[in-house]
């Protein structure tokens, strides 16, 4: 099955939970925000969010710094 993460095609064997996908992609789950099919997914909804065929995710990394 194909999903798209930040515009890049990503092959998955089956439907997967959002937290598992982020871990599989080695993303820092404590420093990202996720949009699924143009809808922001609140962190409290991550455990029940399932990624399915043709889903489109945008993952934004938070970066510290500045003054």
Q: 67 lies in a domain?
A: no
Q: HSE (CB half, 13 Å, CA atoms) of 7?
A: 1
- 35, with CB counted inside 10 A (0-12, 13-18, 19+), is middle
Has residue 62 been placed in a domain? no
Domain that holds residue 8: 2-55
pLDDT at residue 65 is higher than 80: no
pLDDT band per the 50, 70, 90 thresholds, residue 66: low
CATH number at residue 9: 3.10.20.30
Q: What pLDDT is stored for residue 29 in this prediction?
A: 87
The pLDDT of residue 64 is 67
Residues 6-61 pLDDT 10s: 999 999 999 999 999 999 999 888 889 999 999 999 999 999 999 999 999 999 98
Residue with token string 């710094």: 65
- Give the pTM: 0.87
């Amino acid at each position: 099955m194909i999903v798209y993460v930040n515009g890049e095609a990503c092959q998955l064997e089956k439907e997967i939970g959002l937290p598992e996908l982020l871990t599989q992609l080695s993303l820092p789950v404590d420093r990202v925000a996720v949009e699924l099919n143009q809808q922001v997914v609140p962190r409290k909804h991550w455990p029940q969010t399932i990624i399915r065929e043709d889903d489109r995710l945008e993952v934004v990394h938070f970066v510290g710094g500045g003054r």
